[in-house]
A and B are shown apart, each in its own frame.
Chain A
Amino acid sequence: MNDVVIFASVLLILIGMTAAIFNRDPFDKLISISVLIAGVFPFIVERGFLDVAIATALIAPLSTIFTLMVCRRVQV
C-alpha cells in the first residue's frame, strides 16, 4: 500500500479522533467516530483480513444503532 493511501487513512483517523473529542453535541460525536472507523478500514483490508473487514463493517454500525437506542434524543 503506497504512502499516499497510508497517509490519508492516518489523517482520517486523526481528524475523526480530534473532532470526536472537541464536539459537544452527541450526534456530532457519533458522526466523527464514523469518520474514524472509515480511516481504520484500509489498514484491515490491506493485510488481507477480509473476513475481519466484513465482521467489523457489520458490527460497528450496529453498535452505533444500539448507542442511539440507549440515548434517544429528548423531545423538544
Chain B
Amino acid sequence: MIAIYVCAVIAVYAALRVIIERNTMRKLPFLNVVSFAVTGIIALLLPHPITIAAAAAYFVGSTLESNAIASTWAGGIKKP
C-alpha cells in the first residue's frame, strides 16, 4: 500500500515549499496541498465510517482558515 507513502512525501514537499516561498499570498496554494495530503493520510490510517467526518472536518476547517487568512490580508486593498 504505497498510497499513504505518496501522501506523506507530498505533504513534506509542500510544507518545504510553504516556508521557502517569500510572497505570503503565494504560500496559500502550497498550504492547500498540505491539507489535501494530510486529509488523505487521515483517511488511509483508519478505515472507519466516522473517519470520513474527521477528514472532512479537517479539510473544511483548513479551507476556512486559508480563506480567512487571504480575506484578512486582502482587507486593506479594497478601500477607495
Contact = CB atoms under 8 A, between A and B. Distances in A.
**Contact, chains A and B (beta carbon distance below 8 A):** yes
Interface of A: 1-2, 4-5, 7-9, 11-12, 15-16, 18-19, 25, 27-28, 30-32, 34-35, 38-39, 41-42, 45-46, 48, 50, 53-54, 57-58, 60-62, 64-65, 68, 72-76
Contacts of B58: 41, 53, 57
Interface of B: 4-5, 8-9, 11-12, 15-16, 18-19, 24, 27-28, 31, 34-35, 38, 41-42, 45-46, 48, 50-51, 53-54, 57-58, 61-62, 64-66, 68-69, 72-73, 75-76, 79
Nearest to B44: A5
Given A41-B42, A48-B46, A58-B57, A8 B12 contact: yes
Given A28-B24, A35-B31, A68 B72 contact: yes
Given A8-B11, A45-B45, A19 B64 contact: no
A54 to B, nearest CB: 5
Nearest to B71: A68
B9 A8 contact: yes
B76 A35 contact: no
A62 to B, nearest CB: 8
Contacts of A58: 57, 61
